[in-house]
Homo-oligomer: A and B are copies of this chain.
Amino acid sequence: MHNILARRASLVKASEIREILKVTENSDIISFAGGLPAPELFPVEEMKTVCQAILAEDGMKALQYSTTEGYKPLREMIAGRMRALSIAAQSEDILITTGSQQGLDLSGKVLLDEGDGVICESPTYLAAINAFKVYSPNFIEIAMDEQGMRMDELETALEHNHRIKCIYTIPDFQNPTGRTMSLERRKKLIELANRFAVMVIEDNPYGELRFSGDRLPPVKSFDTEGRVIYQSTFSKVLTPGIRVGWICAAPEIMQKYVVFKQGTDLHTSTFSQMQVNKFVELFDIEEHVSKIRQVYRRRRDCMLEAIRREFPDYVTYTEPEGGLFLWITLPAVINARDVLLSCLQQKVAFVPGGAFFPNGGHENTLRLNFSNMTEARIVEGIGRMAGILKECKNTAAES
């Protein structure tokens, strides 16, 4: 059977970590793995009203096939939200996607030939690596600091690599580090993209979840040449289970996205699209997001305090101003996969950081999610982790 598969099938492997983390589905595990929103904040009651309204007002339409581009009123609403971020968008510039993950697959389809270069932050979003890998690119990782992707390294990479097609970035509360790209670097990024004639994929699922500091304009808001493919989702501000995301891009390239989207799944669930649109019509989404922000801010604070109090000094961590994640760096002698195995015995889970580096290495890092556990469980889980980390260091020192 093996020789019947496409070559790319051997490039993309089932994640060993994913298999290990399947145990986190048990509710007795304190899980800092995954990137799940807090389900207790989902607007379940409001969704009852939303579903009844859709089916009463437009039931046949909600259950029928619809256009690949997406439900027009939803595209108009999203374009309005884009304009509020200083992105000059009309509904025609919006393509609805089946979650923002589909945006990544479509970008791979539209942009990447085998061997093309994709520049990304180091580390970067695990599932973006998997989405792009299907199209066999080379990944060029650019180091980050507290201001996000380093522009000096980006410039050097662009000068030395002549097959670069795009720069993939998550400027706001990046997954996995929680870091945010500074305003100055956003402007520099678009200047470099224009100078070297490459595309930018700006992935912004977390931008609305800012707990402190000032909101920064998206890279796309500085785009004068149609170089930025902006993508986002309702997963983190409303609900992820219904899979509604979008792409905002210039008309010439949008055409290609639409054609590939059609071959990929015809269109995103009509019902899901109408759910999002009707929710925004009937309820106050800003107020809803503000509630999410408050809860996540407390959880982040709680996790950071516990880490400060409990973790050994040689552990460093990021202090994100928003989003769902923070990033831990251990001494180089400690392997986060080993830490995970010990933690799982004490019913605590997280994702080892190695998987977020497309070219490997960095096994002494890990990602913690703070959105999905109560404060009490966060304190308990960080406490258990701290005990294990202290032991790991001792073991490493002895060996």
Contact = CB atoms under 8 A, between A and B. Distances in A.
Contact of A5 (B6, B111, B263): B111
B47 A59 contact: yes
B1 A252 contact: yes
Contact of A263 (B52, B133, B166, B275): B133
B1 A253 contact: yes
Given A1-B226, A255-B14, A266 B55 contact: no
Name A's interface SS: helix
A180 interface: no
Contact of A165 (B4, B98, B262): B4
Interface in A1-50: 1, 4-9, 12-14, 34, 36-37, 39-40, 42, 44, 47-48
A9 B9 CA distance: 21
A5 B39 contact: no
Contacts of A133: 263
A252 B9 CA distance: 12
A122 interface: no
A239 interface: yes
A39 B55 contact: no
A94 interface: no
Contacts of A99: 265-266
Contacts of A269: 98, 241-243, 269, 272
A8 to B, nearest CB: 7
B101 A265 contact: yes
Nearest to A62: B241
B40 A60 contact: yes
A395 to B, nearest CB: 34
B242 A113 contact: no
Nearest to A244: B269
A379 interface: no
A61 B44 contact: no
B101 A263 contact: yes
B66 A241 contact: yes
A337 interface: no
A194 to B, nearest CB: 12
A306 interface: no
Given A39-B61, A51-B55, A269-B269, 18 more contacts: A1-B252, A4-B198, A5-B253, A6-B111, A14-B258, A39-B63, A42-B60, A42-B64, A61-B241, A62-B241, A64-B240, A65-B241, A105-B263, A131-B263, A134-B260, A242-B270, A242-B272, A271-B271
23 contacts: A1-B253, A4-B166, A8-B113, A12-B259, A39-B60, A39-B61, A42-B63, A48-B51, A64-B239, A64-B240, A65-B235, A98-B243, A99-B265, A127-B266, A130-B259, A130-B263, A134-B263, A241-B269, A241-B270, A243-B265, A243-B268, A264-B264, A272-B272
